[in-house]
């Protein structure tokens, strides 16, 4: 496996020690975390199994070298950009495990548009922070499976749109855990606060943005109440 943006290489070290991976690449773009990762791997006695490499995104691996890639702890837009810039390096990769801090829907859209099927989602809360983990696999008929996964649906007499499913997460929305519902109550409160602030703005651009936000709030509240 490869851990992109590995920081202290804690994930590769854990996976090797737990017997969940045979070999790993820990990639870092900055020299400070790169050196920290090397020290961590050497102190764990795993230098023969974990190769720490300095480089930008997926450029640290060669096509066909790894069969799983993890990218965690950064924004969804950056994860999307790393995947897109390094898509030629994903040859042979069967699974992606991605943990965006924000902008999860950007990752879901990229996966669906590039032949990956979102096979699982998890959410957890730790120290007051919420984390979503998205797992995507290379599968046959990925396009058809994605169409079904994100298809507009009726639940309890209410409509859940495709755009809401990309934003809310199709599996997480179905599960509706306490951490998940608490997260979206906070997100909705933020959007409503922005709308309230915009009521004092008189520009056409502000009015247009306010209308978009109100529509998004209605769409999300309807999906979450199903």
| Predicted confidence (pLDDT) at residue 158 exceeds the cutoff of 90 | no
Residue extents of the structural domains in the chain: 150-226
pLDDT of the residue at 35: 97
Per-residue pLDDT of 176-189, as tens digits, reads 999 999 999 999 99
- pLDDT tens by residue, 71-83: 999 999 999 999 9
Mean pLDDT of the chain: 94
pLDDT at position 225, please?
A: 87
pTM: 0.92
CATH fold group of domain 150-226: Helix Hairpins (1.10.287)
Distance CA 50, CA 65 (A): 13
């Amino acid at each position: 496996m490869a851990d992109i943006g590995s920081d202290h290489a804690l994930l590769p070290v854990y996976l090797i020690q737990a017997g969940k991976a045979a070999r790993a690449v820990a990639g870092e773009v900055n020299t400070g975390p790169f050196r920290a990762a090397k020290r961590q791997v050497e102190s764990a006695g795993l230098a023969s199994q974990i190769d720490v490499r300095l480089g930008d995104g997926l450029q640290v691996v060669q096509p066909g070298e790894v069969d799983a890639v993890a990218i965690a702890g950064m924004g969804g837009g950056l994860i999307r950009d790393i995947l897109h810039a390094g898509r030629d390096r994903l040859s042979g990769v069967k699974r992606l495990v991605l943990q965006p801090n924000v902008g999860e829907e950007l990752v879901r859209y990229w996966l669906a548009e590039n032949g990956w099927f979102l096979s699982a989602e998890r959410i957890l809360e730790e120290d007051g922070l919420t984390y979503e983990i998205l797992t995507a696999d290379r599968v046959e008929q990925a396009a058809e499976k994605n169409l079904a996964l994100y298809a507009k649906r009726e639940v309890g007499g209410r409509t859940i749109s495709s755009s809401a499913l990309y934003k809310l997460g199709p599996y997480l929305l179905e599960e509706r855990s306490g951490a998940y519902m608490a997260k979206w109550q906070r997100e909705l409160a933020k959007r409503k606060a922005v709308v309230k602030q915009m009521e004092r703005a008189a520009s056409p651009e502000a009015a247009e943005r306010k209308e978009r936000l109100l529509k998004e709030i209605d769409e999300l509240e309807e999906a979450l109440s199903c």
